Chain A
Amino acid sequence: DVKVTQSSRYLVKRTGEKVFLECVQDMDHENMFWYRQDPGLGLRLIYFSYDVKMKEKGDIPEGYSVSREKKERFSLILESASTNQTSMYLCASSFGHRGTSGTYEQYFGPGTRLTVT
């Protein structure tokens, strides 16, 4: 069974804090993704990574950065948390290299609900 785990289910942070969200997958997937989910907006892609140390911006990268030092682990970093980053954060992973990823499904973690006060 594919498993994607996220370090916390719930997190409360103060404005201005540096926040780390961790994601680990156990299926040797090449691709990993970070999304945020907000009511009425669906899932929006923040960043993704297609290999170790490789990353590309998604649709809403402002205020976020990522790190992928090992294939199984993909971290999302909020350099200085703000209240408008209060949201549900979902990590996903999938097989596939450039040009071959289309048919593979993404597997999702349970999500981290982050509240910034």
Chain B
Amino acid sequence: AQSVTQLDSQVPVFEEAPVELRCNYSSSVSVYLFWYVQYPNQGLQLLLKYLSGSTLVKGINGFEAEFNKSQTSFHLRKPSVHISDTAEYFCAVRPNAGGTSYGKLTFGQGTILTVHP
């Protein structure tokens, strides 16, 4: 089984400041890792994903994340945030083995990012 912990439930930040949203996971098998974003009154949208290869993954809207296997972390970063980045962000994992997973995701609790002018 997998579990995901997002270490901050809320992150307030000023516009143009850098931000890091933290995600740690636990799994007995290798995993794929995902970050999704949910803007107010909308469904979830994929920001980026780590499947294999380079541990630094770039996504949409200037976000990037770094996979750290030894620390079982997948933190999301952006060097300069905009008001429009205000949203809830979810980290998720999925086993990368076959079997009966059918692509099921395990989500973290979510981090609400609020960008102030």
Contact = CB atoms under 8 A, between A and B. Distances in A.
B108 to A, nearest CB: 5
B27 interface: no
Contacts, number: 74
Nearest to B91: A42
A98 B9 CA distance: 34
Interface string B70-114: 000000000000000000001000111111111111011110000
Contacts of A92: 44
Contacts of B100: 56, 98
B105 A106 contact: yes
B109 A109 contact: no
Contacts of B117: none
Contacts of A58: 104
B94 A102 contact: yes
Given A40-B9, A96-B103, A102 B95 contact: yes
Interface stretch (B13-21, B45-53, B60-68): B45-53
Interface in A63-103: 90, 92, 94, 96, 98-103
B28 interface: no
B50 to A, nearest CB: 11
Contacts of A40: 9, 109-110
25 contacts: A33-B104, A42-B4, A42-B107, A43-B90, A45-B104, A50-B102, A96-B102, A96-B103, A98-B98, A98-B99, A99-B98, A99-B99, A100-B98, A101-B101, A102-B32, A102-B101, A105-B46, A106-B103, A106-B105, A108-B36, A108-B43, A108-B44, A108-B45, A110-B43, A111-B43
